[in-house]
């Protein structure tokens, strides 16, 4: 059984290309091994589109969201969406793997709850380097 995916687009961004975007979403999902179950369409008048998309992800238990481009998500992928599902863009074709919270992530802020945080604001966690406030024992001088 293929993992389920939903498509997502903003009708105001797709404009006259909406039908083409829907075909591209379905084709990309199928080619990457997902079962596209539906495409959710919002407009510029939709209140809290990311919140509604997160609700659909949870309700339909999908593994991925396929979008025509990052522009349909407001220009960048919200952190809350990255925590809920893989995000796949059709153009340019890219897959952004689901990001699970890490022990080294800073505490959630109000922005994180609404998908407004930015990964560039995160503290680097590579090998524990760069963690503010972490003290390491210093060997004694001999």
Residues 6+ apart with CB under 8 A from 51: 114, 115
Burial grade of 106 (CB within 10 A; 0-12, 13-18, 19 or more)? exposed
Q: Is residue 125 part of a domain?
A: no
For residue 52, give its domain range: 4-101
The model's pLDDT over 16-27, given as tens digits with 9 standing for 90+, comes to 999 999 999 999
The answer to whether residue 120 is domain-embedded is no
- Quick one: pLDDT at residue 141? 59
Q: Determine the pLDDT at residue 18.
A: 97
Residue 139 lies in a domain: no
* pLDDT in the model for residue 91: 96
| Distance between CA atoms of residues 21 and 29, nearest Å | 12
Any idea what the Cα angle at residue 21 is, between residues 13 and 53, rounded to 5°?
65
Counting the structural domains of the chain, the total is: 1
23 in a domain, yes or no?
yes
Q: Which of 43, 84, 40 has its CA nearest to residue 61?
A: 84
CATH of the domain at 96: 3.40.50.1390
Q: Is residue 56 part of a domain?
A: yes
- Asked if the structure places residue 128 within a domain, the reply is no
Give me the residue label for tokens 């990255």. Answer: 82
Residue 126 lies in a domain: no
- Rounded to two decimals, the pTM is 0.70
Q: What is the pLDDT of residues 40-99, one digit of tens each?
A: 999 999 999 999 999 999 999 999 999 999 999 999 999 999 999 999 999 999 999 987
The answer as to whether 129 is a domain residue is no
């Amino acid at each position: 059984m293929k993992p389920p995916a939903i498509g997502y687009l903003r009708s105001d961004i797709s404009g006259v290309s909406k039908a083409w975007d829907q075909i591209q979403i379905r084709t990309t999902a199928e080619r990457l091994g997902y079962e596209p179950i539906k495409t959710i369409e919002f407009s510029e008048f939709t209140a809290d589109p990311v919140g509604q998309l997160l609700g659909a992800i949870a309700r339909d238990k999908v593994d991925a969201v396929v979008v025509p481009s990052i522009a349909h998500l407001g220009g960048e992928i919200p952190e809350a969406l990255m925590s809920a599902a893989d995000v796949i863009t059709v153009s340019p074709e890219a897959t952004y793997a689901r990001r699970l919270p890490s022990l080294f992530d800073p505490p959630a802020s109000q922005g994180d709850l609404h998908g407004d945080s930015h990964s560039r604001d995160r503290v680097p966690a590579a090998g524990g380097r760069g963690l503010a406030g972490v003290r390491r024992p210093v060997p004694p001088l001999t």
